[in-house]
Amino acid sequence: MVSLREVCGIIIFRWVPLIVLLCVSARAVDRSNFKTCEQSAFCKRQRELKPGRSPYRALLDTLELSDSRITLQLINDNNKVRLLLELYRLQGNMTRVKINELKPLKPRYEVPDVLISDPITETLSVVSQDENSLVLSLGGKDQRLIVSAQPFRLDIVEGPQVLVSLNSRGLLAFEHLRARKDTSISHKISSTVGSMWDSLKKEEDKPGMWEETFKSHTDSKPNGPSSISLDFSLPGVEHVYGIPEHADTLKLKNTDGSDPYRLYNLDVFQYELHNPMALYGAVPVLISHSTDRTMGIFWLNAAETWVDISSNTAGKMMFGKILDFVQVSSEAPQTDVRWISESGIIDVFIMLGPKPADVFTQYASLTGTQSFPPLTALAYHQCRWNYNDQEDVKSVDQGFDEHDIPYDFIWLDIEHADGKRYFTWDPSKFPQPKEMLQGLMDKRRKLVAIVDPHIRVDNGYKIHNEILSKNFYVKNKDGGDYEGWCWPGNSGYPDFTNPEMRAWWASKFAYEQYEGSMENQYVWNDMNEPSVFNGPEVTMHKDALHGGWEHRDVHNLYGLYVQKATADGLVERSGGVERPFVLTRAFFAGSQRYGAVWTGDNAAEWGHLKISIPMCLSLGLAGISFCGADVGGFFKHPSAELLVRWYQAGAYQPFFRAHAHIDTPRREPWLFGPENTALIREAIRQRYALLPYWYQLFYNAHRTGYPVVRPLWVEYPNDVATFSIEDEYLIGKDLLVHPVTDEGATAVTAYLPGKGEVWYDVHTFQKHDGEQSLYIPVTMSSIPVFQRGGSIICRKDRVRRSSSCMENDPYTLYAALNSQGSAEGELYIDDFHTFNFEKAKQFVHRHLSFSANTLSSRNLAPDSQFSTASWIEKIVIIGGSQPSSATLKNAESALEFEFDSTLAVLTLRKPGVNAAADWTVILR
């Protein structure tokens, strides 16, 4: 939901010397509301520091070695401040590097609650040591961690190859906490652009260290400067990804000529595409990829963070000596990454891969995997700001049935609550919420009602009074309750970093607490950046206080905590039985554990449709698979063509929800004429038929941390042609989607990867070879989707009005054969909504394989138990030959079949076996 409303105004376009008078909705974001690096004092200070010889020196004689870690001190020769370096070798091929002040004036913030547990360490042993270096073994494959003392740098090498170097460009800068000097003069010292070392040497204050003003807001900075920075060099790497959320390309751009990518959760009104501005969420995870290796850097810091990316040539920008045996080709490409954060400590996890899947596993071992949503959450969601009242909800619900369009969820935005007092209902519009919910339940459908974290300051509001009496509000710098302006007007912000507050919040979702709520009601957390309309950059003042910590320290974590507390509430209200479903707009590393994320307030423009793909792919790489964009675009009014294309694209993205701004005309799927209604119906039906595959992928994502939707390079890591592709992607590894995202398109060109791979058009079964760019003519009904030869995908082709209605329906298996005539896949079934799959091992997990003319289903989880009514109604084998007979071995009964010789499609009629059973079909 949008934060600010634009009115008439003058917009001066930066790139054109033109003043345009606009008196309608502003075209795009008002950039002046948000800081550039230049306007963010610490970023400016840090960025003025250019690569050079680092003043830091490792004091090798301070080395302390234990089973789990190595510590040693670093000293800044300019100011003699000492830092403590901790090095850990973590299980699963990761290295953790922590740097803090040896003796900080007061503790510096270390991010809690993001790591799922203390990472398991492995022994680091010293291989060799001399006066200027220390070589540590990282275990097998001759991986070494080299500590160079002067200047201080770290290199991780494998054999003669440098994998990553830290501080090789000398950009380690750790602003130590200091006592405030008499500030009358120091503030006024002019900012000289020059070497930072000089000023550090003199310990001079720079502007913005002790106070900073942006627009009308002053940040009081009682703790003074505290920023940190560190550089990473990645030899041989030209492609880096991740660090969502930005409305930008999948492959991160060089930021030499622009601002760095910014990570600072913000409510950005009408965001612009293709720039590094911060958006609603932040995951400080960067993935590097080359044909040799995939790696990741996880910078665990929740303060405002900027990331500079530059492309260089290896060796050029290296300072300091590396050991002799290390080879550095001066010709090889190299990507340099520099992280800058405003406060906290340096705590970085280097995930060494080497394969994409390894990086996903490594990251998942740190921050956990995607939560396994109830199946219904993967179906289609109908949202609008706002469905006006119970009657409206009822008539939209009926509209779906009248037009025979499936949907699972209808959503209520902020207008449903009584005066924006969340956990309540507007008594005139929703006088009988349970009646409404029961009506939906009778149709086996669900509802989401929004619950935002800002709380109306109103002594007639129970929630507010309780928070007040429990002293749970965030405090302002002077110790009073922090208040800001949001939807309800003057609002307080509960301190979600406080575990007691979160427990209390969770308890508010109990059915008896949340009046009018029922078990088919789920929750949406919006505005949890947090959005503060009258705050600096539309968010909370950095000097606000969360217990002993400043908002500055915890900012990017706030949204995660809101979603966590809400999800906990949904679990608790069901007595721990039901899986929750909570959508959030703000997020951080680890948010994948609590539900779904959407890309915020986009617009009904083709560019926004296109960008939804790289935005969700980036999130997936950073662990958050359950991602979607508002179908149709939030702001503005989509053309029928754009809306249809968006439904077609959205049907193949993980979170599939249509949403619209309150000021846009209604756009339920049937309001654009019968032809478009039919096109939208078909797109949604394709989604429902494919739900078993989505469900299985989410189950796997939950178990392994592999993203559900993936850039092509993840599955084809050696095919350089795939590295920058962002207009198509893979669902799992078996479906390739290239949605139509251009107005008036008559064709798309899809790249089908994989030498020797074959791909089948899922609609026509037409076969195409891999490693080619395929020109595909399209009509309005086209959604180019291809199934990889070698895969078996299970669908439910009996599409009904909600996913719950389909739970016992039979499956159809689509086996697409590879050039060896084989294929394999999985089928996962459980009760689709409880934790019993985990707690009681109640699920079915089958491995399906076809080879040598034999198709069989094998149990992947022999110790699990679940009985399903679902059976196998049809098997479609694509790309095979005509058999003379097909026998179901279990029953020794012949199966009837049809063979389409032009497309080589064999259809086995009604095997009839239970989906959980062992079975074999033999073709002769």
Catalytic residue positions, numbered = 526, 601
Q: Is 429 in the site for another protein (CB under 8 A)?
A: yes
Please, which residue, 286 or 603, has the CB nearer to another protein? Answer: 603
Residue with tokens 């609650």: 113
Q: How far is the CB of 393 from another protein (least distance, A)?
A: 13
Q: Is 403 in the site for another protein (CB under 8 A)?
A: no
Q: Is 388 in the site for another protein (CB under 8 A)?
A: yes
Query: Site for another protein (CB under 8 A): which residue of 12, 503, 662, 840?
Result: 662
Please, which residue, 151 or 669, has the CB nearer to another protein? Answer: 669
- Rounded to 5°, the CA angle 276-4-215 comes to 65
Q: Is 435 in the site for another protein (CB under 8 A)?
A: no
Q: Is 833 in the site for another protein (CB under 8 A)?
A: no
- Listed residue (513, 510, 468, 469) closest to 493, CA to CA: 468
Query: Site for another protein (CB under 8 A): which residue of 110, 404, 519, 742?
Result: 404
Q: How far is the CB of 808 from another protein (least distance, A)?
A: 8
Q: Which residue type does 383 have?
A: C
**β strands within 742-895, DSSP E:** 747-752, 758-761, 767-769, 772-777, 785-788, 791-795, 811-816, 823-829, 844-851, 854-859, 872-878, 886-888, 893-894
Query: Site for another protein (CB under 8 A): which residue of 805, 860, 861, 904?
Result: 805
Local structure of 622: helix, strand or coil: coil
Query: Site for another protein (CB under 8 A): which residue of 281, 738, 873, 876?
Result: 873
Query: Site for another protein (CB under 8 A): which residue of 143, 367, 602, 664?
Result: 664
Query: Site for another protein (CB under 8 A): which residue of 295, 586, 750, 799?
Result: 799
Q: Is 256 in the site for another protein (CB under 8 A)?
A: no
Q: How far is the CB of 427 from another protein (least distance, A)?
A: 8
Residue with tokens 């870690």: 69
Q: Say which residues have a Cβ less than 8 Å from residue 486's Cβ, sequence separation at least 6.
A: 452, 454, 527, 531, 532, 533
Q: Is 914 in the site for another protein (CB under 8 A)?
A: no
Of the CA atoms within 13 Å of residue 498, those in its CB half-sphere come to 21
- Listed residue (531, 539, 593) closest to 561, CA to CA: 593
- Listed residue (877, 801, 865, 875) closest to 837, CA to CA: 865
302-311 exposure pattern, b = at least 16 Cβ within 10 A, e = fewer: bbbbbbbbbe
Q: Is 665 in the site for another protein (CB under 8 A)?
A: yes
Q: What 8-state DSSP symbol labels residue 435?
A: H
Q: How far is the CB of 286 from another protein (least distance, A)?
A: 38
Asked if 486 and 526 touch (Cβ cutoff 8 Å), the reply is no
Q: Is 764 in the site for another protein (CB under 8 A)?
A: no
Stretch binding another protein (CB under 8 A), from 91-99, 181-189, 338-346, 663-671: 663-671
d(CA 342, CA 352): 27
Provide the CA 270 distance to its chain's centre, in angstroms.
20
Please, which residue, 452 or 873, has the CB nearer to another protein? Answer: 873
Q: Is 270 in the site for another protein (CB under 8 A)?
A: no
Q: What 8-state DSSP symbol labels residue 327?
A: B
Q: Is 663 in the site for another protein (CB under 8 A)?
A: yes
Stretch binding another protein (CB under 8 A), from 244-252, 270-278, 317-325, 797-805: 797-805
Q: Which residue type does 916 have?
A: A
Q: Is 910 in the site for another protein (CB under 8 A)?
A: yes
Q: Say which residues have a Cβ less than 8 Å from residue 521's Cβ, sequence separation at least 6.
A: 437, 446, 447, 448, 449
Query: Site for another protein (CB under 8 A): which residue of 69, 82, 477, 800?
Result: 800
Stretch binding another protein (CB under 8 A), from 183-191, 741-749, 801-809, 848-856: 801-809
Q: Is 67 in the site for another protein (CB under 8 A)?
A: no
Stretch binding another protein (CB under 8 A), from 28-36, 54-62, 442-450, 526-534: 442-450
479 exposure class (CB count in 10 Å sphere: 0-12, 13-18, 19+)? exposed
Stretch binding another protein (CB under 8 A), from 105-113, 562-570, 616-624, 796-804: 796-804
Q: Say which residues have a Cβ less than 8 Å from residue 420's Cβ, sequence separation at least 6.
A: 414, 456, 487, 488, 489
Asked if 859 and 918 touch (Cβ cutoff 8 Å), the reply is yes
CA distances from 426 to 172, 465, 601, 720 (A): 54, 19, 25, 56
Q: Say which residues have a Cβ less than 8 Å from residue 349's Cβ, sequence separation at least 6.
A: 90, 94, 95, 96, 119, 296, 297, 298, 300, 362, 366
Please, which residue, 88 or 430, has the CB nearer to another protein? Answer: 430
Please, which residue, 511 or 897, has the CB nearer to another protein? Answer: 897
Q: Is 909 in the site for another protein (CB under 8 A)?
A: yes
Query: Site for another protein (CB under 8 A): which residue of 874, 883, 887, 920?
Result: 874
Query: Site for another protein (CB under 8 A): which residue of 394, 444, 768, 847?
Result: 444
Asked if 143 and 94 touch (Cβ cutoff 8 Å), the reply is no
Q: Is 443 in the site for another protein (CB under 8 A)?
A: yes
- Helices 673-689 and 691-704, packing angle to 10 deg: 50
Q: Is 21 in the site for another protein (CB under 8 A)?
A: no
Q: Is 659 in the site for another protein (CB under 8 A)?
A: no
Stretch binding another protein (CB under 8 A), from 340-348, 582-590, 620-628, 661-669: 661-669
Q: Is 217 in the site for another protein (CB under 8 A)?
A: no
Q: Is 868 in the site for another protein (CB under 8 A)?
A: no
Query: Site for another protein (CB under 8 A): which residue of 442, 478, 512, 892?
Result: 442
d(CA 603, CA 135): 53
Query: Site for another protein (CB under 8 A): which residue of 167, 498, 602, 804?
Result: 804
Stretch binding another protein (CB under 8 A), from 78-86, 236-244, 254-262, 388-396: 388-396
Of the CA atoms within 13 Å of residue 664, those in its CB half-sphere come to 21
- CA end-to-end span of the chain, whole Å? 60
Q: Is 813 in the site for another protein (CB under 8 A)?
A: no
Q: Which residues are near another protein by CB under 8 A?
A: 5, 24-25, 388, 391-392, 404, 428-429, 442-444, 662-666, 797-801, 804-806, 809, 873-874, 909-910
